[in-house]
A = this chain, B = another copy of it.
């Protein structure tokens, strides 16, 4: 039982953007901050854009910013959206589709109820909650890691970088 890395990274993007509400951030920049795949991050950002969480600006001096205040971004909603996006497994915790006893099975209901409780907790939190009192510490980490592995300015991701 785990969330996809897609979801994991989506939350990291939001946390990064949340610590810098003042300015526009780029994907290569976040790639460096977290040390993760730029291509993957781009798809995640794209998805977050389609879902209305971030706004992207193309072209030179472009980048990404939160589309709404952090207090209006619900953690549960983000995670639910990210886990159910096309291509992912979705939230079917059990394989009732091929199970012969499904019509008489009470487990489905119980598991559904548990899943609802899971999201109920997440939905009680917003991005602002996650940032509250931690913005400084996060910025420190980002500053430290950004300088850690200096990349040539020209090519943001040299061949074989990620990893």
Interface residues of A (CB under 8 A from B): 1-5, 8, 11-12, 15, 33-35, 75, 83, 89-95, 99-101, 103-107, 110-111, 113-115, 117-122, 125, 129-132, 134, 137-138, 140-142, 145
Contacts and interface: CB of A to CB of B under 8 A. Distances in A.
Contacts of A120: 117
A162 B142 CA distance: 51
Count of identical protomers in the assembly: 2
The DSSP consensus for interface residues of chain A is helix
Given A104-B141, A105-B134, 19 more contacts: A1-B3, A1-B4, A1-B89, A1-B90, A1-B91, A2-B91, A2-B93, A3-B93, A8-B99, A11-B107, A12-B101, A15-B101, A34-B99, A34-B100, A103-B137, A105-B130, A106-B130, A114-B118, A117-B120
A92 to B, nearest CB: 6
B105 A15 contact: yes
Contacts of A134: 104-106
